[in-house]
Structure 1
């Protein structure tokens, strides 16, 4: 590992950045044609970037080999049309650095790092962790608050200290706590260049009203143009278009209620993409795809909101 100490090109992000699903053909086998169709689909939809290897991308369930294959292929397909952000979170410090170095070599635009999971870190430990790892990551770095899965928050006081690190460019918050998000946006008084993104897609209007810059919305894998239109309507104060878009987004969100396990969010998103003919619906182990009854319910929801044509 080396610290390049190179200056970072500012990367100001806003708009809709889908946390890309990872299309799979089989266990540990990337669906290359599905990946290309998916990337073309979201780019045509007007997204402002793509985020690889996040929660929706099932990153912790993928082999290191497959993660690298995905990064290389995606960066090549995107071909600089939009920024590519790469999740580098790992339980091992050196693996996060190694993946970030590989992403930089491939031409990715930024790395994304959440709190290390399994062993919960205290805020003093977390602060030192980010301070130690940031100089070793040769890309602009976005922090990712995902306490529902990592069991650890980036507390506002910790982030306030981390504003001193120039190569950190912002935060994605998936906590769903709008009071936390409001306080997070308050850090722009110190770092006006930070990009602050909301994760839960139904909260996009409230998040932007608080000073947020955009959304990392899983549903934008399936209907990117709707989320982009929603974002644009909020910025333009177009209440009629916003209401229409939010009605579609809220209706789409019903697919996340199908199934009884937490993995239903990933299963539902991949099922929807499969129904649209974009990529396979196979999730990474240990999960199974939706069975026909659940898949039919996804299809009915997509048909009701006009995303899928009736058979």
Structure 2
């Protein structure tokens, strides 16, 4: 088990796949070992970056098993259990506990957007039946509802709810969380958008769940360290590098999934893993792939 609060960079791991029903296990091993070698503080599987809602439950369960096997308790493993079905979330949680994961992560159920009172009841009901501690996951762009700061404060009273990952990219929201939870020093507050991670750490947040750490784990770990130690000169240099990665690789083509396509293509070009995208999405074609290669070279990589 990890120390609370959980600090550092916890990459939201992409899911390497060979086809819709086959996990790229060798690629997963390459990816996880690369991130661990880069100094990350944990890994988060079956999140947005992992295409969780697009892959079968069989593949999700295999991913949990293989990730825990490969990581081998070297760092904490966080497992996403977001689902519209309460029972399916519990089944994924049971698998996570069976194979040795350390914590769970759940965004609000999507499709019918729950109100805040419903969210409090839902998360308390869920947490009280889970075999592992739970992180809330604020992802309003995808689930149509914000977990309001007062809701987070209410849920923090549940001993099995230990933190929150915020992907809203709303700095005022994060400031409110830090203020409201100032008397709960063990409650972890993590930032999703990597462009904001340094700012969030300086505000008092605990770390970043940054997609770019799939590609450049050392960069994001160094960013966290510079922010945590308030080394502003180093931080300015690293923040510039992080923005170069983001602006270079995450907006190729006009797709909602451009970020995941860009990261997967880059990893494939680096020889790490397959770039297959789970249906209904598809990997970049040759023209877009050539753009990713050009951007990687501009970022200083020998492709």
TM-score band by shorter chain is over 0.9
SS of the residue corresponding to residue 189 of structure 1 reads: coil
Gaps of 5+ in 2: none
- Displacement, 1:147? 0.2
Q: Is the 8 A contact 1:163 1:190 kept in 2?
A: no
Distance 1:17 1:268 in 2: 19
The one of 243, 263, 270 aligned to 2:236: 243
Report if aligned partners of 2:11, 2:42 keep a CA contact under 8 Å in 1: yes
Q: Among 58, 67, 72, which residue is 1:74 paired with?
A: 67
Q: Distance in 2 between matches of 1:10 and 1:234?
A: 20
Residue correspondence of structure 1 range 1-311 to structure 2 within 5 A: 11-254=4-247, 255-306=249-300, 308-310=301-303
Q: In the aligned structure 1, how far is the partner of 2:33 from the partner of 2:290?
A: 26
Contact 2:20–2:55 under 8 Å retained in 1: no
* In 2, Cα distance between equivalents of 1:9 and 1:48: 9
Give the CA RMSD over aligned residues.
1.3
Following superposition, the deviation at residue 12 of structure 1 comes to 2.9
What is the CA–CA distance in structure 2 between the aligned matches of 1:305 and 1:188, rounded to whole Å?
39
How far apart are 1:9 and its partner, in Å?
7.9
Shift of 1:238: 2.1
Following the alignment from structure 2 to structure 1, what is the Cα–Cα distance between the partners of residues 269 and 184? 42
TM-score, structure 2 normalization: 0.97
Can you list the C-alpha shifts for 1:256-300, whole angstroms capped at 9, x where unaligned?
111101011110110111111000111110111111111111112
Q: 2:250 aligns to what SS in structure 1?
A: helix
> CA separation of 1:9/1:36 partners in 2, compared to 1, >3 Å: closer, same or farther?
closer
Aligned length: 302
- SS of the equivalent of 1:196 reads strand
Deviations 1:123-144 (A, max 9, x none): 1111110111111011011000
Normalising by structure 1, we get a TM-score of 0.94
Q: CA deviation at 1:302?
A: 1.5
CA contact (8 A) 1:251 1:301 kept: no
Q: Do the aligned residues in 2 keep the contact of 1:142 with 1:168 (CA within 8 Å)?
A: yes
Q: Is this contact kept in 2: 1:196–1:213, CA < 8 A?
A: yes
- Equivalent residues of 2:29, 2:70 under 8 A apart: yes
How far the C-alpha of 1:10 sits from its partner, in A, is: 5.8
In structure 2, C-alpha distance between the alignment counterparts of 1:103 and 1:257, rounded to whole Å: 33
